[in-house]
Structure 1
């Protein structure tokens, strides 16, 4: 079960980070809405509401939104790998899914770094490099998952 835990820990870490970004968003956005006397009208578009506050305040909300987009694939793949690890006889061996767990932690670290850059300086090329690296890490995790599941056919896995 160590393999399952090693895959679930980064999942919970990224969910926790998303909550942290939500807190940072509200801690900056609510005071800014008061300070800049933001008019809230249900007929306003998101852009019209956002134009009433400075960009450095909006960056946190933009990142919070981003944490609900690309990481959805991460959650699916990491949970799929954890399910595979929980049903595979090989999961009892030491080091099973270690590479996958390292990739998952790498993905989380890159997403946290992306969040910090976007929410603080919003340097586009740095953000793009971090996003690109996280996408390559995600692709590696996906390929490891596909490989594990297809290699398991007929060798005692419950999947």
Structure 2
């Protein structure tokens, strides 16, 4: 039987790829408009283009980086839950909640970028992650 928790994992990976495409679609034109020749620049660090290109062109890139951070913990704990045989029912619903909140966070950050709302969404997603971690611990240490 397939573990239902794997479905939100796949959706979050797919969403991360959507955000990658959004980032490229917004950032490349902004770089060109700023006169930055991608063929001539070498290496960079996160945030190096802040203040060089418009903030709205940076927001999808910032969010894409965020999707490479905390969600990696989600992926790991979801796999533990799936392998422990507890990936259906409440754990699947919590995982869907995590994914829905992260998608809402992405859309918010990449459009209006209101920090107070972003923080609330981040807090809610973290609470989902804490619940999944506790459930995983109960499954593997029981």
TM-score where L is the length of structure 1 = 0.82
> Which ranges in structure 2 are unaligned for 5 or more consecutive residues?
none
RMSD: 1.7
Structure whose residues are more often helix by fraction? 1
Cα deviation code 1:11-30 (max 9, x no counterpart) = 00000000000000000001
Do residues 83 (structure 1) and 83 (structure 2) align? yes
User: Are the aligned partners of 1:56 and 1:119 in contact in 2 as well (CA < 8 Å)?
Assistant: yes
Residue of structure 2 aligned with 1:145, choices 117, 136, 139: 136
Quote the offset at 1:47 in angstroms. 4.0
Q: How many residues align?
A: 140
C-alpha distance in 2, partners of 1:78/1:102?
12
* 1:55-66 equivalent positions in 2, closer than 5 A: 55-66=55-66
TM-score where L is the length of structure 2 = 0.91
Change (3 A) 1:119 1:39: same
**Residue in 2 that maps onto 1:34:** 32
Deviation larger for 76-85 or 40-49: 40-49
Select the structure of larger CA radius of gyration. 1
Change (3 A) 1:77 1:43: closer
Do residues 18 (structure 1) and 16 (structure 2) align? yes
Cα deviation code 1:126-155 (max 9, x no counterpart) = 00000000000100011111112222xxxx
> Which ranges in structure 1 are unaligned for 5 or more consecutive residues?
86-90, 152-159
